Amino acid sequence: MDPFYIYILCGLTAGLLGGYLGLGGGIIMVPFLTVIAGLDIKVAVPVSVTATVVTSIASSNEYLKKGMVDLELSLILALFMVIGTITGSSLSPYIPSHYIQLVLTIVVLYTAVSLLKNKNNKGNTEFILDRNKNIVLSAAIAIFTGVLAGLTGIGGGVIIVPTLYLLIGLPLSTSRGTSSLMIGFSAAAASTVYLLNDQIDFHIVIGIILGIIIGGKLGGKLGAVAKPKIVKIIFFIVLIYVAFKLGYQSLAEIL
């Protein structure tokens, strides 16, 4: 198959799953580009981050239409996430990626287990906790997530969605929509850093974006009407898959 069509398929897959779950799609793009397309991780990460901006725009638009985005909270936490993302992408040339991947593996596994715990939910439109109760901790997590996103090319939704849902108390659907918008700001900041360092291969980005435009739009529509229980199951499966991929690669390089 022509490499360009492989990039389109990558974008379609990442956009569909990323839009549906409120993720940036990077958790699909980076493994896809490195394992299937055979790209070096240093090439895949800037491409993934740049394409994630399009995923966010395509999917968050659907959530905004249905009022499933907390704009105030999104802007506040996005600011902290952008700070982390700029830091992470700037440090990328100096920090071995396998150490960052190992840390992320632990965080992702913890997140997966946390989502399995029962949580009293009062409905899809009500707030469960005081939104300001854990805002400081959430801001710290946003910075940490931004650093990881900038270094590994993963959008950060695997951490942001559970943070909004478990700590802030947003309904799961609103957490996905808010995360999707936040990731767009974060990815835009990181891609700017990579662009200034001339690390983005636009030939690959164009192919991925073509797939994302279709996949992200469809994923956003499906995510806006999905049942929370179904989303949690899919989210858990995705997290376990991501943990396996990241953990295996990092341990193989370290050992």
Residue 242: the pLDDT is 73
The span from the CA of 91 to the CA of 142, in Å, is 17
b/e burial code for range 200-234 (CB count within 10 A of at least 16 → b): beeebbebbbbbbbebbbbbbbbbbebebeebbee
For the four alpha carbons of 169, 170, 175 and 178, in that order, the dihedral sign comes to negative
Residue 238: the pLDDT is 75
Instruction: Pick 185 or 119 by higher pLDDT.
Output: 185
CB 224 within 8 A of CB 68: yes
Query: pLDDT digits over 244-253, tens only?
Result: 877 887 788 7
Query: pLDDT digits over 12-22, tens only?
Result: 887 777 666 65
SS3 (DSSP) at 117 = coil
Residue 233: the pLDDT is 80
What DSSP character marks residue 242?
H
The span from the CA of 206 to the CA of 76, in Å, is 31
Query: pLDDT digits over 132-176, tens only?
Result: 667 888 999 999 999 888 888 877 887 888 888 888 888 888 888
Q: Which residues contact 76 (CB under 8 A, 6 or more apart)?
A: 135, 139
Query: pLDDT digits over 168-210, tens only?
Result: 888 888 888 898 899 989 999 999 999 998 989 998 999 998 8
Q: How far is CA 28 from CA 4, 13, 25, 168, 170, in A?
A: 17, 7, 6, 26, 25
pTM of the model: 0.75
Residue 24: the pLDDT is 59
The span from the CA of 75 to the CA of 79, in Å, is 6
The span from the CA of 160 to the CA of 22, in Å, is 9
Residue 85: the pLDDT is 93
Query: pLDDT digits over 12-53, tens only?
Result: 887 777 666 656 577 778 878 887 787 887 888 899 899 888
